Chain A
Amino acid sequence: MSAPGGRPVVEATGLTRIYAADGVAVRAVDGVDLAVEAGETVSVMGPSGCGKSSLLHLLGGLDRADAGEIVLDGRRVEGLSETSWAVLRRRTIGFVFQSFNLVDELTAVENVELPALLVGASARRARHRAVELLERLGVADRRDHMPDRLSGGESQRVAVARALINDPLLILADEPTGNLDSRATGEILRLFADLRASGQSLLVVTHDARVASTADRLLTMRDGAVIGHTHLGGVAPVGSVLAGLADFGDAGGAR
């Protein structure tokens, strides 16, 4: 799928971030090229410390690259002032974090509407949209709860609602199921599937194979670099698991 006008929602070229650790330069992100097309889900896997979270932070403007280029929604990010970059990313990117990052002093619905208020939506409109999203994500009954009264799965659904409030072009998710049990992980996977079905573009950094497998494309990172790239969507496995589960080993019939 290509974006309107045939361009990716985000495109990075030669992205590089170097940290100084104990006087040694560490290339946390080392010349990464990447593009996410509209409506596409891309996952990034790799061992811890491979640079996948750093990459996400660069793309989302939480950190600045030392070299390379990011084009977001057709606009080069490097030339932008801090303020314009902040405005652009608030309107185009929704973030989902491993530890939810909800504001403790605000209720669920106040957390969700906050990014809308920051880009200048009216209080009424922001509240209306926040409630709508909480309903869609199945946590409307938690709207007035404080974050510490929410389960992990509920917190992440509230966080996804917050990520969606400004109708972002792209959702960036950093280990979205890292703090969730198996049932809540299943719920988030259902939620992501619904988002994909509605045309949402997603870039998901994860070490959870279950989450990664649902992407259209998978990038594998090691030592700051992308070392592998494969299409998961549209390519059937060599061995069908479902066929295997229904194989009773007595296909020859009753003997």
Chain B
Amino acid sequence: MRDPILALLAKEPAHGYELRQRLVQALGPPGRALNPGQVYVTLGRLVKAGLVAVEQVGQSSHPDKKVYELTAAGRDRVAEWLADLSWPKVTPTDFHLKLIAAAVAGLADPVALIDAQRHELLRQLREVQEAILVEPPDSRGGLLLEGAALRLQADIRWLEVCEQRWLDWSIR
């Protein structure tokens, strides 16, 4: 959760509750399962790691007086995360939030991110496909590879849907 939170902070400094709201909104229905304390715990860790700076603001009307902001190191970390293609370490949820954060903060073109990820998955699929061809057609070992190929196919199809949707949004 650290990287998505950092990326969602890239647009502008935010209160913890604003950040949580951005996250919930970006996630859609699964966001409702989000533990409210988790965002604050993560923010605390990011502050300790020097990636986020926290400022107390005198705002008597609201109990939340802390504003969080990316540090220079935090910005570097966000850039690194945006460029990280190592699927499935970068999960579909990560990737979805990556696109939203990149678009909102103007950090990168979501369509370019999707393209780069799609090419990586095609290379992964190629790796699996080559391994399948080395196996005899009906080997048991090939069955595990078959599963990996099907999952990659599904992920690539999802990326194609993402690409179409983000293109439509960018035209509007």
A residues lining the B interface (CB < 8 Å): 47, 182, 186-187, 189-190, 193, 208-210, 212-214, 218, 220, 228, 230, 232-233, 235-242, 244-245
Contacts and interface: CB of A to CB of B under 8 A. Distances in A.
B124 A209 contact: no
B137 A237 contact: no
Contacts of B146: 182
Interface of B: 85-89, 115, 119-133, 137, 144-146, 148-149, 152-153, 156-157, 160, 164
B128 A241 contact: yes
Contacts of B149: 210
Contact of A210 (B88, B125, B137): B125
A219 B85 CA distance: 20
Contacts of A186: 132, 137
Interface centre among A186, A193, A233, A236 (most CB of B within 10 A): A186
Given A209-B152, A239-B88, 19 more contacts: A47-B164, A186-B132, A189-B132, A209-B122, A209-B157, A210-B153, A213-B123, A213-B129, A218-B122, A230-B119, A230-B122, A232-B119, A236-B123, A237-B124, A237-B126, A238-B85, A239-B89, A240-B127, A241-B127
A193 B126 CA distance: 12
Interface centre among A47, A209, A235 (most CB of B within 10 A): A209
Contact of B160 (A47, A189, A238, A239): A47
Given A193-B133, A239-B86, A209 B125 contact: yes
Contacts of B164: 47
B89 A241 contact: no
A182 to B, nearest CB: 8
Nearest to A239: B86
Given A241-B127, A245-B148, A213 B85 contact: no
A242 B127 contact: yes
A19 to B, nearest CB: 22
A185 to B, nearest CB: 10
B153 A237 contact: no
A59 B94 CA distance: 41
The 10 A-B pairs with the shortest beta carbon distances in the complex, nearest first, are A237-B123, A213-B125, A239-B86, A213-B126, A209-B156, A237-B124, A213-B122, A238-B85, A241-B124, A230-B119
A130 B49 CA distance: 70
B92 to A, nearest CB: 14
A190 B125 CA distance: 15
Given A228-B115, A242-B128, A235 B123 contact: yes
B120 A239 contact: yes
A210 B148 CA distance: 11
Nearest to A228: B115
Given A47-B160, A209-B157, A241 B129 contact: no
Interface centre among A190, A241, A242 (most CB of B within 10 A): A241
B127 A237 contact: yes
A213 B127 CA distance: 9
B169 to A, nearest CB: 15
Contacts of A209: 121-122, 125, 152-153, 156-157
A186 B137 CA distance: 9
29 contacts: A47-B160, A189-B129, A189-B133, A193-B133, A208-B153, A209-B122, A209-B156, A210-B125, A210-B153, A213-B123, A214-B126, A232-B119, A232-B123, A232-B126, A235-B123, A236-B123, A236-B127, A237-B120, A237-B124, A238-B85, A238-B86, A239-B86, A239-B87, A239-B120, A239-B124, A240-B127, A241-B124, A241-B152, A242-B128
